[in-house]
Amino acid sequence: MAPSGSLTEREALSARSVPSMVLSDGSSSSLTPPPISKFEVEPTTGARRRFSVRGNAIVTGGAGTLGLQACDALLEHGLEGLMIFDLDPANGEQEITRLRFKFPDRKICTYAVDITSEVAVQNGIEETLRQLGSVDILVCFAGVVGCVDALEMPASQWRKIIDINTTGSFICAQAAARQMVKQGHGGSITFIASISAHRVNFPQPQVAYNVSKAALLMLKSSLAAEWARYGIRVNSVSPGYMDTILNEGEGLDIHRRIWAERNPSGRMGSPPELTGAIVLLASSAGSYMNGTDIIVDGGATVF
């Protein structure tokens, strides 16, 4: 029994105060003002500015194949500084070195981070500020997959996949957004979801992965609503089957054939084919894109 004068748990529900979202008013003094519309005199200048990427970015899972391709594209479009978060950045050491030679005037850094640890992620944010000076863009590639029959999946594996793919993405987004709010000029956050967020994969069973990616779509939408008033846009990209080392090997030959046969384009995606969507969402051209998911799958999800 509750002590005299104290509320029971049920009574406390009716006495609680629930916070309310605050949306931007879109005025010129807000952090979501309309852009100045004008025609550029010189066409190449207009094209370059339309997809210009400004400031500094953190790319989680940036030492992987897809992450490195995105880093390269963002730098090509004007990114000034890059911080790669990865559990083991040494895995991409050769390609990261190539990026440094290709972009000698940019600062390209790496930091070993377990994205499921709030302390580790916050340390990474602080190191990014020390090295680059600001956090303006976050792209979350870090994730894991697990293919096992749902009847056989141990709860520990379920928790690990959700913890990395969904909770880890939230931890990174929250830490980056807190810094963006302090900076006061907005930013862009992009989650890497999957076509697995839109429909069940075939033929492999991977329920935890599918659920973790579907959760990212709602996370994206919820944060887009909450953080727009700070000028922070939150979007996602849903790739189809991409031709990376994760989808190679003789053991996957039958699966690769099925994935290609069930795709209108008749093949898997090539990693550079994902970069256009990444650049769009981080660039000037994406300034009115918030809460959006872009599917890049060759048409697989039309069925």
pTM (whole model) above 0.75: yes
Q: Which residues of 55-93 are buried (b: 16+ CB within 10 A; e: fewer)?
A: bbbbbbbbbbbbbbbbbbbbbebbbbbbbbbbbebeebe
Neighbours of 42 (CB within 10 A): 8
Query: Quick check: 171 and 115 in contact, CB under 8 A?
Result: yes
Q: What is the pLDDT of residue 77?
A: 97
Question: pLDDT tens, 4-60?
Answer: 566 787 777 777 788 999 999 999 999 999 988 878 778 888 888 889 999 999 999
Q: Which of 209, 212, 241, 283 is catalytic?
A: 209
Q: What is the pLDDT of residue 247?
A: 67
- Which region, left, alpha or beta, applies to residue 264 given φ > 0 means left and ψ of -120 to 50 means alpha? alpha
Question: pLDDT tens, 78-120?
Answer: 999 999 999 999 999 999 999 999 999 999 999 999 999 999 9
Q: What is the pLDDT of residue 222?
A: 98
Instruction: Determine the average pLDDT of the residues in 259-265.
Output: 87
pLDDT at 250 > cutoff 70: no
What is the fold, at CATH topology level, of the domain defined by 43-297?
Rossmann fold (3.40.50)
* SS3 label, residue 294: strand
Q: Which of 111, 169, 188, 194 is catalytic?
A: 194
pLDDT at 252 > cutoff 80: no
pLDDT at 251 > cutoff 80: no
Q: Which of 213, 236, 238, 241 is catalytic?
A: 213
Between these two residues, 145 and 6, which has the higher pLDDT value?
145
Is residue 209 part of the annotated active site? The answer reads yes
